[in-house]
Amino acid sequence: MRITVETTKVAKRFVYGGLFNALVACIFAIPLAIASDSSVIEPIDQSIVYVLQTWPVMPFPVAAADFPGTWLFLSYTLFLIVGCLGFFFWAAVYYMQSALLGKTHTSRVLSALHFILGFAGVYATVIFLFTAGFFGGAARLSGIQGAAIINTLISWTVIPTAIGMVLGVLGNLLGVINNIMTFFGKQVSI
């Protein structure tokens, strides 16, 4: 197996990842774009059934409710910035290594870990943050007070969200290390 890969191939992978994430962002925007303005929401124990019955229309107040419903919007914004724009940014960095600096090869292992950990980190973080925002906002609108929401409904999402953030940061750190090694390293195609 080769220990290096062409930087343009890595750039293409990040472009494909960014395009995939943009498609996912569009799909998940549907419930927000056609959200109902009704302030009536089912009790929390029926919220999953309610979501499935009314898909793709989501009650807008769930997302607009104060803490923790706003986490839903935060997770979507985070996904757009890190999942879409971040992947396109890394594609540009890898492409420029080749096109502008003549660095045509980079570490296969580091670039693969960069992509995989970044991808997994974004999705883990956003999924659990979105879940906390949706169920927390639904609970808040059905009359459950803040402390009860945090302690019983969404506290289980905190650790997986943090793990996702660590994966994403680690992936991006490996990307930085890989690009520094590529920039200062001797170009070898093996």
SS3 1: coil
Q: How far apart are CA 136 and CA 164, in angstroms?
A: 20
pLDDT given for residue 164 in this prediction = 97
Q: How far apart are CA 48 and CA 114, in angstroms?
A: 35
Q: How far apart are CA 163 and CA 185, in angstroms?
A: 32
172 or 133, which is more confident?
Answer: 172
Residue 154's closest CA among 167, 169, 175, 139? 139
Structure confidence by residue, pLDDT tens digits, 137-178: 777 766 677 666 666 788 889 899 999 999 999 999 999 999
pLDDT given for residue 130 in this prediction = 86
Residue 133's closest CA among 72, 59, 82, 44? 72
